[in-house]
Amino acid sequence: MKNNIKIERARHNLTQADLAEKIGVSRQSINAIEKGKYIPSTLLALKMARLFKMSVEKLFSLEAED
């Protein structure tokens, strides 16, 4: 799963720690999500999408399967 979290964080002037605090997770969780090592729960994805004022589909996308 690909995501645009790092891009949206930069657009909103947020550090990983800032974003983590706003949605109630650790900075390490944000780092892992950005790197694609962790897929967030639906609730977490919705919280991030709401914070960035965008749809979940624009924040996250499935990579093409071969």
Q: Give the chain's domains with CATH numbers.
A: 2-50 (1.10.260.40)
Give the CA count within 13 Å in the CB-facing half-sphere of 46: 3
The confidence score (pLDDT) of residue 64 equals 61
pLDDT at 20: 98
Q: Please count the other Cβ atoms lying within 10 Å of the Cβ belonging to residue 9.
A: 19
Please compute the mean of the pLDDT values over residues 52-63 and round it to a whole number.
94
Does residue 4 surpass a pLDDT of 90? yes
Distance CA 21, CA 47 (A): 12
Does residue 66 have a pLDDT over 60? no
Q: Residue range 26-55: average pLDDT?
A: 97
How close are the terminal C-alpha atoms of the chain, in Å?
Answer: 14
Alpha helices by DSSP H, 1-66:
5-11, 16-23, 27-34, 42-51, 56-59
Portion of the chain with pLDDT greater than 90, in percent: 91
